[in-house]
Chain A
Amino acid sequence: MRTIFVLLTLSALCSPVLTAERLDAWLRSRIEARVLTALNSNHATRQREGASVDSRSTSLVDQSSATDFVNMAMTLSPVASGGAGSGGVGQSGTGMVTASAYSLLAAINGKSLTDPEFYKQHTAARQLSFTLGSTASDVMKDNTDKAGTTFGFKFTPINHRDIYGKRNATALTGLRDVLRQTAVETELKSEVSNVLFCLQNAGIVGVDAAALREFCATPREAARSALLDAWGLNPSTLSQKAALQRAQLAFRDDVPDNLPAATLAQIDGLIEANLPALTRVRAAINDTYDQIKQGMQLAIATNYINRPDAGTNDLRASLIFDYGLSPRVNWTMNGSFDHRDRKMALDTKGGRFATEFLGRLTGYEDALWGRQPITLAFAGEGKWLTRQKPQYSVQAKLTIPISAGLDFPIVYRWAKRIDLVDKEGKELKMGLSVDLGSLSQLLKGR
């Protein structure tokens, strides 16, 4: 009889399990398959390009939130120009750096950008960002060919996407409460682990077959533990307890990929029995994420381009509104006052309205500082300025992430009437956006 047990044990230990998966991961995917409602969203709605006041920027519409950290944007070149952005071939050279007050504070204090305590303490500093850059000029439009200097700031007084906002604090508290229900999953894991242990240990040297069957058939972990304790208190079964403990220690909670159908059905039954609690956890995570990402944002922004000599200066003061229509689609509206200070002629001033729908085409990478998703945006703009006919523009923009912190926007813009020129214009342009925060974190991690 003992020989049979030895053979059974050896057979179990040497069974041809070619691949195995950790119980934690295997069970999670099996649970998720039952409770997951596909959901993912993005951080891709933060503006990472130059401000729209510069007509050479790849942004037609400004987003309400800038980077949390430091961002650099360049318009590389209009690859095919009919003058829609009035940038003209060879008139690229626009470059802007945007930094949040938070990133400056972090640098001054020598703190990591994601330090939890620092991040919580400086919520307000993330709502304020500053822009400094250089803007190319065009003689016909700007009365100079010398580059102008761009200054700007953006303040986001309403930000329902910040995790420390009151609205999101309530949602996160709710998530924490629901997270306590993961204890159900812990118990479930114990039961599944027992099923797998008993499957892979049909016989254990030193453990009576009937006792092992009783152990395996005992449904609750506390009861199994009590059974072990009872074995330990009885001198005749003391060695049996030690043998079972050795087998338990040798069992690594691995799940072989060749589980019998009956075992899978047994495990699925255990999952189904706990599905309501398991679903609440997943739903709470998804709902919290949706609430944060689809939150409303309202920003006030001002950008000023100062051109040398007799060049025209530009001022744009904007009200920017963002709203997440769905986890994948963000809607932005801009209303602004534009003023062109023509030093050698009468000024023009007036209003501007623009709107954009930005959709995320891909998901996020696994890495924390991984590439942004590919996004596609459609935007339209109308400008009504004194001494000029109304101008209308539409554009499509595809933003392709090259690497973490490095994006490559490609824009096609069509204008019904170009600034000062009463004709249509169209332009294909490319840009480059560098998120210095992401890049530095990525390099730090290597």
Chain B
Amino acid sequence: MAITRTVTVDNPGALLIERASGEFLHFTLIAGGPLPIFAFNSSVKGNLFEAADFIGHPKTTYEWEHLKNPSDMQSLERLDLHLVFVTNAKYQYKVEKRAATGAVLATILDISFVGDPTDHEAESFRLMVS
């Protein structure tokens, strides 16, 4: 019952997003296989989706975006990824802040997880909207 968490870019805890300039977040989750199980939650909207909601599931790479719609933005929103290891022992989670054009402004976090079958891990951060 122990997760090995390897940090390439550490979770900042909180992140500033500029609503006016159209900044948004791009998420990538790479699964080691064979069957990834995860859920992505917002403290504002609850559960946004889980692995099986993606077309082509199960697959190696899952990508999604958040805050493309400015009306979704709310300060203090917490974005929380929950990982289950029962059928997938390894995940790599990466979040990028991108400009409205899609250009990468910064890598917010880049963390790998390896867990035992009954492990359950989460990684979250807060948004501040300016």
Contacts and interface: CB of A to CB of B under 8 A. Distances in A.
Contacts of A41: 117-118
Contacts of B41: 182-183, 185-186
B22 interface: no
B39 A40 contact: no
A116 B59 contact: yes
Contacts of B60: 115-117
Interface string B30-43: 01111111110111
A180 B53 CA distance: 12
Interface in B55-80: 56, 58-60, 74-78, 80
A228 to B, nearest CB: 5
A281 interface: yes
Contacts of B31: 116
Contacts of A182: 39, 41, 47, 80, 82, 122
A229 B75 contact: yes
A172 to B, nearest CB: 7
Contacts of B87: 163, 172, 292
B130 interface: yes
Contact of B33 (A116, A249, A292): A116
B114 interface: yes
B14 A289 contact: no
Contacts of A119: 33-35, 58
A250 to B, nearest CB: 8
B91 to A, nearest CB: 10
B50 A179 contact: yes
B78 A175 contact: no
A180 B118 contact: no
Nearest to B4: A366
Contact of B126 (A253, A282, A366): A253
A175 B84 contact: yes
B12 A252 contact: yes
A109 to B, nearest CB: 14
Given A24-B122, A179-B50, A285-B84, A221 B78 contact: yes
Contact of A176 (B15, B50, B115, B130): B50
A285 B120 contact: yes
Interface string A86-102: 00000000000000000
Contact count band on B? 35 or more
Interface in A341-386: 363-364, 366-368
A245 B129 CA distance: 9
A289 B118 contact: yes
Contacts of B5: 25
Contact of B13 (A117, A173, A183, A254): A254
B102 interface: no
A366 B52 contact: no
Interface of B: 1-5, 11-16, 31-39, 41-44, 46-47, 50-52, 56, 58-60, 74-78, 80, 82, 84, 86-90, 114-118, 120-126, 128, 130
15 contacts: A28-B120, A41-B118, A112-B33, A117-B56, A180-B39, A182-B82, A185-B80, A185-B82, A221-B76, A225-B74, A249-B15, A252-B12, A252-B13, A285-B120, A289-B117
Given A119-B58, A180-B47, A248-B14, 4 more contacts: A40-B1, A179-B37, A186-B80, A248-B76
The 5 closest A-B pairs by CB, nearest first: A252-B13, A114-B33, A119-B34, A116-B58, A253-B13
Interface of A: 22-25, 28, 32, 36, 39-41, 112, 114-117, 119-120, 163-164, 172-173, 175-176, 179-183, 185-187, 189-190, 193, 221-222, 224-225, 228-229, 245, 248-249, 251-254, 281-282, 285-286, 288-289, 292-293, 363-364, 366-368
